[in-house]
Amino acid sequence: MLEDQMERDGITYLAGWVAYKHKDLPWLGNPTRERKNTSAAQLPSWVQQLSFGGLMEPSPEWLNSALHIEKVFQEFHKSEIYKGPNTVKKCVFKVMCEITSIPENVIKTYILQRTRIRIKFLNAYAFARKQEEKTRKEEEKIRKQEEKAKKEEEQKRIREEKAALKELKQRQREEAKVEREKQKQKQQDDKKIIQEQIRIANKEGKKRKLEEAKAEKEKKRQKLEEEKRKKQEEIRLTREEAKKRKSQEVRAEPAKKKKPNGACKAANEVVPSERKRARKMKKLTT
């Protein structure tokens, strides 16, 4: 209802404009300042409210004809503009076939202005669509740029995570390598310590064995010396006993000087036996 009223107000305004262009035809309409309200309760029209007195208000007859012309115009052009040549001329001819009470020049003025309005509206609509498409494309471009930036940011984050993970793995490998080197070095050090301990133990064992052998040798030497000393002591004692016995025999023989042959024989019997015993003891000691 509101759209129909707005469309009727627009046609009324255009019909008044045509009446203004054709002032030589006063039956088309009068200025709003000449109109007098018949009733105080009657509201002024849209043209009357818009005008300061100079706008033309179409007559009822002309307004009805303008509404009929608008209907033919809509049927001829639909929602666009007729694409063929002589658009205005063809539309005027079609209107004149249905309306014969309106002069041709008046119909032509209305159709021409109405065509201009339609073209202006279509241009504005096309411009709005173009601006809307441009805005949509810009928004799409911005959206794509944002998606691209977001994707790049995501890829950058993934690359950074991969780089961090790679660095972490590399650091872990290096730490593991260092730990293995430490363990290997520790094992080598422990091995060296054990080898050194074994070497020291072997050295101490050898030293102890040498000392023991030396002590054993010393004991044997001391034992041999002791045995030798004992043998020498026995030989000395034996010799002393032999000398003592001999001296005793010599002292016991003064009375027997007259029998030298017998004494010599006894001495010869005693001395060789002592000599043999001494040689035997010497062999034992050596």
What digits encode the pLDDT tens for the residues 268-283? 454 556 667 777 666 6
Query: Is pLDDT larger for residue 162 or for residue 247?
Result: 162
Which among 136, 97, 127, 91 is positioned nearest to 110, based on CA atoms?
Answer: 91
Taking the C-alpha atoms of residue 24 and residue 11, their distance in angstroms, rounded to an integer, is 21
Enter the tokens of residue 241.
């006993």
> What is the per-residue pLDDT across 188-208, written as a single tens digit (0 to 9) for each?
888 888 888 888 878 777 777
| Whole-number pLDDT of residue 42 | 52
58 membership: H or E segment, kind and range: strand 56-58
pLDDT of 41 strictly over 60: no
Residue carrying structure tokens 């003025």: 109
> What is the per-residue pLDDT across 88-111, written as a single tens digit (0 to 9) for each?
889 999 999 998 888 999 999 999
Which residues have C-beta within 8 Å of that of residue 249, sequence separation ≥ 6? 266, 267, 270
| Whole-number pLDDT of residue 274 | 67
Taking the C-alpha atoms of residue 117 and residue 196, their distance in angstroms, rounded to an integer, is 113
Query: Is pLDDT larger for residue 37 or for residue 14?
Result: 14
Enter the tokens of residue 31.
């200025």
| Whole-number pLDDT of residue 38 | 47
| Whole-number pLDDT of residue 48 | 56
pLDDT of 158 strictly over 90: yes
| Whole-number pLDDT of residue 266 | 47
Q: Are 103 and 133 in contact (CB under 8 A)?
A: no
| Whole-number pLDDT of residue 176 | 92
Average pLDDT across the chain, whole number: 80
pTM of the full predicted structure? 0.49
Name the 3-class secondary structure at 220: helix
> What is the per-residue pLDDT across 43-73, written as a single tens digit (0 to 9) for each?
556 555 555 445 677 888 988 998 999 899 9
CA–CA distance from 266 to each of 49, 60, 253 (Å)? Answer: 199, 210, 11
Checking 114-118 for CB contacts under 8 A at 24+ apart, the result is 114/14, 114/69, 114/70, 114/73, 115/77, 115/81, 115/87, 115/88, 115/91, 117/14, 118/77, 118/81
> What is the per-residue pLDDT across 223-266, written as a single tens digit (0 to 9) for each?
888 888 888 888 888 888 888 888 887 777 665 554 445 544 44
% the chain with pLDDT above 90? 14
Query: Is pLDDT larger for residue 258 or for residue 142?
Result: 142
> What is the per-residue pLDDT across 108-134, written as a single tens digit (0 to 9) for each?
999 999 999 889 988 998 899 989 998
Which among 278, 272, 282 is positioned nearest to 238, based on CA atoms?
Answer: 278
> What is the per-residue pLDDT across 164-186, written as a single tens digit (0 to 9) for each?
999 999 999 999 999 998 888 88
| Whole-number pLDDT of residue 112 | 92
